Amino acid sequence: MDESYCETEECPEERLRDQFELNPGIRLPRSDNEWLLANTFFQSAFVNVVVNESTVSDVVKLMSTTIYNYFKEACGTVGNCDKELENKYKDCLAKDLKKQLKLFAKAGRYEFNFRDRSVR
């Protein structure tokens, strides 16, 4: 691509970037069972979707939104931070957090995951 093109006219990439808002990244399932559950959900969610020339844009938006929201709710987003937990543990030393990790290691609680990320 000619560099002078972007200097004199707006690049197509810039126009697209201005049209869309980026969502936070999503985590994806890690186990075969989680993928199977997601697949089952999508099959049931899209069973009645009809695609033709006049509805293709709307169907793409519906599917994109549904898929994103499913993984966001089921697996979480990348780089998100729970402010309540962050404030709760902000004054704790790493060694105190490690002690708490040992206590919650088998509990599988969300706080365990937060503390684990905070220590590393």
Q: Which runs of consecutive H residues, i.e. helices, occur in the chain?
A: 3-8, 12-19, 32-45, 56-75, 83-89, 94-104, 110-119
pLDDT of residue 2: 46
pLDDT of residue 108: 62
pLDDT of residue 18: 64
List 77's β-bridge partners, or say none.
26
pLDDT of residue 115: 61
pLDDT of residue 99: 82
pLDDT of residue 5: 46
Regions of the chain short of the pLDDT cut 50: 1-6, 8
Distance CA 71, CA 20 (A): 20
For the stretch 86-106, pLDDT in tens is: 777 778 888 888 887 777 776
Burial of 115 (0-12, 13-18, 19+ CB in 10 A): buried
Nearest to 112 by CA among 93, 95, 98: 98
pLDDT of residue 24: 83
